[in-house]
C-alpha cells in the first residue's frame, strides 16, 4: 500500500534534498519501521489516514523494545521528513508529526584540542618524506578551514583560490560555500603540489584531486583518521581524537576568540544556527574551567 509513496519520497530526497545514498536509505528505513509496525497491529492505513495517536503508539512500542533516545529521535526526524514530503505533494491534508514530541537528548560536548595541541600534532609530522609533506599540507588545511574529512579528501585543485585566500567547498547535499584558508595552509599546499604531487602517477579520474596516495588516488577517510591517530600518539596526546576533532577545535577557537556565531555557521556549512550553538556551550565550559583553575574562590 505504501510502496508508491516510498518511491516518491525517495525521489524527493535524492532530487530535491540532494541527500547522500546513506541518508536516503536511513530515511526510508524509518518509514519502513512504521509500516511494519502498522502491519503487525493490523492497521490498514494509507499516509492520509495516519493520526498523531498512531505515531505516539509506534514510538511507545519502539521505546519498549529498548531503542535508545538517540535512535528514537532519528526515527522521528525521518517520519517528519516523510510527512513534510506528503504535505508538499498533497498526499495528506494534515501533518501528524507536527505536535510529536521527541525524547530529550543529552548533548555530549565534543573533544577539543587546544591550539598548542594542534601545533604539536602537526609539528610531529616528519617532512623528510613525500608522505610527510602531504600530511603536513593536509592537516594544516583541515584545521585552517574547519573542513569535514569528506570535504578534505574530495578537495580539488580547481576549488583552491589561493591568490585571494579562499577555498570553494562542497558540503552535505552538495551545498557550496567559500571558506578562508590560512597562510600556512597555502604555503604547505603549494609545497606539496609543486614538489611532491607532480611526481605521483595520477590515476584516471583523480587528476583534479589535491591529496593523493602513492597509487595516485584520493585518500580515504580511514587513512586520514589513521594519520591523525599516529601523529597524536607521536606528539604524546592521549585524547580520543579524529579528523572531526580538528573541525570542532577550529570552531571552538573562533568562538573563544570572539567570532560572530553566524560567521562560524557560514564557514562550517551548518544549515541551522542551532547546530553551531554547541560551540557557545564549549566556550562556557572553557570559562568555567578557567575560573576553577585560576580564581581563588573556586579553588578547593
Where are any strands of DSSP class E within the chain? 160-161, 166-170, 176-180
Of the candidates 155, 116, 126, 124, which has an alpha carbon nearest to the alpha carbon of residue 138? 155
Contact 112, 245 (CB under 8 A): yes
Q: What is the rounded CA–CA span in Å between residue 46 and residue 5?
A: 9
Q: Three-class SS of residue 17?
A: coil
- Give the active site residues: 148, 172, 244, 247, 270, 279
Of the candidates 17, 77, 11, 82, which has an alpha carbon nearest to the alpha carbon of residue 47? 82
Q: What is the rounded CA–CA span in Å between residue 51 and residue 148?
A: 39
Q: What is the rounded CA–CA span in Å between residue 185 and residue 192?
A: 10
- How many residues are listed for the chain in this entry? 300
Q: What is the rounded CA–CA span in Å between residue 267 and residue 296?
A: 38
Of the candidates 133, 72, 159, 117, which has an alpha carbon nearest to the alpha carbon of residue 252? 117
Q: What is the rounded CA–CA span in Å between residue 229 and residue 242?
A: 7
Amino acid at each position: 500500500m505504501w510502496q508508491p509513496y516510498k518511491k516518491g519520497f525517495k525521489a524527493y530526497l535524492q532530487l530535491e534534498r540532494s541527500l547522500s545514498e546513506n541518508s536516503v536509505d536511513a530515511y526510508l528505513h524509518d518509514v519502513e519501521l512504521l509500516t511494519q509496525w502498522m502491519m503487525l497491529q493490523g492497521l490498514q492505513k494509507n499516509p492520509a489516514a495516519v493520526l498523531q495517536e498512531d505515531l505516539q503508539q509506534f514510538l511507545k512500542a519502539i521505546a519498549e523494545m529498548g531503542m535508545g533516545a538517540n535512535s528514537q529521535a532519528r526515527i522521528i526526524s525521518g517520519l517528519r521528513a516523510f510527512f513534510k514530503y506528503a504535505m508538499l505533494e498533497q498526499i495528506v491534508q494534515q501533518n501528524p508529526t507536527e505536535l510529536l514530541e521527541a525524547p530529550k537528548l543529552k548533548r555530549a560536548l565534543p573533544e577539543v584540542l587546544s591550539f598548542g595541541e594542534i601545533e604539536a600534532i602537526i609539528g610531529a609530522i616528519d617532512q623528510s618524506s613525500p608522505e610527510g609533506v602531504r600530511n603536513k599540507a593536509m592537516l594544516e588545511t583541515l584545521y585552517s578551514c574547519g573542513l569535514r574529512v569528506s570535504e578534505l579528501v574530495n578537495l580539488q585543485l580547481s576549488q583552491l583560490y589561493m591568490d585571494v585566500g579562499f577555498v570553494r567547498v562542497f558540503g552535505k547535499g552538495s551545498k557550496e560555500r567559500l571558506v578562508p584558508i590560512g597562510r600556512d595552509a597555502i604555503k604547505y599546499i603549494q609545497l606539496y603540489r609543486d614538489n611532491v604531487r607532480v611526481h605521483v602517477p595520477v590515476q584516471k579520474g583523480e587528476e583534479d584531486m589535491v591529496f593523493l596516495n602513492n597509487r595516485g588516488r584520493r585518500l580515504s577517510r580511514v587513512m586520514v583518521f589513521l594519520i591523525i591517530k599516529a601523529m597524536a600518539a607521536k606528539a604524546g596526546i592521549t585524547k580520543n581524537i579524529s579528523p572531526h576533532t580538528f573541525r570542532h577545535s577550529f570552531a571552538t577557537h573562533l568562538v573563544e576568540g570572539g567570532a560572530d556565531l553566524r560567521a562560524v555557521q557560514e564557514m562550517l556549512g551548518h544549515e541551522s544556527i542551532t547546530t553551531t550553538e554547541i560551540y557557545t556551550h564549549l566556550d562556557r565550559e572553557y570559562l568555567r574551567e578557567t575560573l576553577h583553575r585560576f580564581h581563588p574562590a573556586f579553588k578547593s
